[in-house]
Structure 1
Amino acid sequence: MGDQAVQAGGAQGALAQDFVRFAVQAGVLRFGEFKTKAGRMSPYFFNAGLFDDGAKLGRLAQFYAQALLASGIAFDMVFGPAYKGIPLAATVAVELARLGHNVPFAYNRKEAKDHGEGGTLVGAPLAGRVLIIDDVMSAGTAARESIALIRAAGATPHAMAIALDRQEKATENGRDVDHSAVQYVRGTLGMQVCAIARLADLLQYLSASEGGQQMSEHHARVLAYRQRYGVED
């Protein structure tokens, strides 16, 4: 994709609200009590693995592609980190091509092959400005692994696209820090991040929902969680 004015961050407004509504209706965004990798009890959980049929995955790819085009982030190819990132990046590459932005696509294996083409990389050679596509970022560990792999291949890890920015404090050595994983990737690793929606968009959806008392209770719990663990934009 050619250079455009960079507009880092999540896609706002109607697109984000449509995505949150879609994720809730698809059962991918759920409410209750869920333990996070950081050991926190979260009142909501986003599981992109539940985009588990062709229609859902195709619609998800549309959201990614629309958010990317709206962000203005320029990139030369897409990369899907194993395992969840592989179908995400593949379907987004198809949707981008449908919209007139055909770019190469690659992904990695967890284990290197010792036959055939060998190695851990599959697809187009890594080159130019690489966009990494994944579902969410918790600690930034997967991002660092992908970045190292891309740099080792002689390409530039340029940006990341994720479905949901949880906007909460990351943990380092078991302790909360004052930045989120997304802020770490932007500020420390120097990469742009495009999120289809953020926790703020989820809160807006819950506050405006016509789901009555139940949605009001979800909103109160998610808001309390953000007040405790959230980060400043």
Structure 2
Amino acid sequence: MNNLRQQFIAFSVSKGVLRFGEFTTKAGRQSPYFFNAGLFHDGATLAELAQFYAQTLLDSGVEFDMLFGPAYKGITLASATAVALAGKGRNTSFAFNRKEAKDHGEGGTIVGAKLQGKVVIIDDVISAGTSVRESVDMIRAAGAEPCAVLIALDRMERSGPDGQLSPSSAVQEVTKQYGIPVISIGNLDDLFGYLNGAGADPELLKHKEAVSAYRTRYGI
């Protein structure tokens, strides 16, 4: 793990956003860990999270003109990342969508800057890929180009029921389907490395075996 990724995993654990135990995922799997970006819910924590998003995007080398945050979590993440980028000397416009079109005022479903140029989609995770698909459609419909997806955590696991698991992960499927890179601040390998590292809380080390077994069963 590079230092930024290590810091992000440790930060997520310290804020109770990344938790270990027994959790049921949206796919119905019993997971030994759970990541809930909705728990980054105070000003100081959001500001720190945005620094991770901004630095990861800059470090990726992806050329971009603006940010797009899909409703609902992506709205906060895109706007906070734009603020963090401005603090790093990169003033970047951003936009987000409404779930329902507004029929008065400016109308429409897009709020913020006009979608144009190369657009980075910012969200928390990719599960079924629905949010990415809708975002790509909106961006292309506006004549702009989706150039990357930036997420907090890549679970790096195959989709589908046991016995019929997909050969690729949701993130890999997005890359293949839309031809754009998916950039993550951290991933399952980083999480496992954190548990395996000397700096991990001894209480968390007991979850290492469960995470390892889960990765073996579902990981790419």
Instruction: Work out whether the TM-score is over 0.5.
Output: yes
TM-score range, shorter chain: over 0.9
User: What is the 5 A alignment of 1:171-182?
Assistant: 171=160, 175-182=164-171
1:161 deviates by 0.4
Structure 1 CA distance for aligned equivalents of residues 119 and 200 of structure 2: 41
Specify which of 81, 96, 101 is matched with residue 70 of structure 2.
Answer: 81
1:210 deviates by 4.2
Match of residue 56 from structure 2:
67
Match of residue 152 from structure 1:
141
User: What is the 5 A alignment of 1:106-125?
Assistant: 106-125=95-114
Structure 1 CA distance for aligned equivalents of residues 20 and 43 of structure 2: 24
Match of residue 130 from structure 2:
141
* 2:213 paired with 1:220: no
Q: Look up the equivalent residue of 1:83 and give its one-letter code.
A: Y
Q: Look up the equivalent residue of 2:160 and give its one-letter code.
A: T
1:158 deviates by 1.1
Structure 2 CA distance for aligned equivalents of residues 92 and 48 of structure 1: 14
User: What is the 5 A alignment of 1:83-102?
Assistant: 83-102=72-91
SS of alignment partner, residue 202 of structure 1? helix
Larger RCO, structures 1/2 (Cα 8 Å, 6+ apart):
1
Q: Is the 2:194–2:200 contact (alpha carbons within 8 Å) kept by the matching residues of 1?
A: no
SS of alignment partner, residue 207 of structure 2? helix
- Cα offsets for 1:64-95 (capped at 9, x unmatched): 11111111111110000000000000000011
1:114 deviates by 0.7
Structure 2 CA distance for aligned equivalents of residues 142 and 183 of structure 1: 15
1:216 deviates by 2.1
Structure 2 CA distance for aligned equivalents of residues 217 and 223 of structure 1: 11
Alignment gaps of 5+ in structure 2? none
Structure 2 CA distance for aligned equivalents of residues 210 and 137 of structure 1: 26
Match of residue 14 from structure 1:
3
* 2:42 paired with 1:49: no
Q: Look up the equivalent residue of 1:15 and give its one-letter code.
A: L
Structure 2 CA distance for aligned equivalents of residues 94 and 106 of structure 1: 13
Structure 1 runs (4+) deviating above 2 angstroms are: 209-212
Alignment gaps of 5+ in structure 1? 1-11
Cα-Cα RMSD = 1.4
**TM-score normalised per structure 2:** 0.96
Aligned length: 218
Q: Is the 1:139–1:171 contact (alpha carbons within 8 Å) kept by the matching residues of 2?
A: no
Specify which of 201, 212, 220 is matched with residue 211 of structure 1.
Answer: 201
Structure 1 CA distance for aligned equivalents of residues 69 and 211 of structure 2: 30
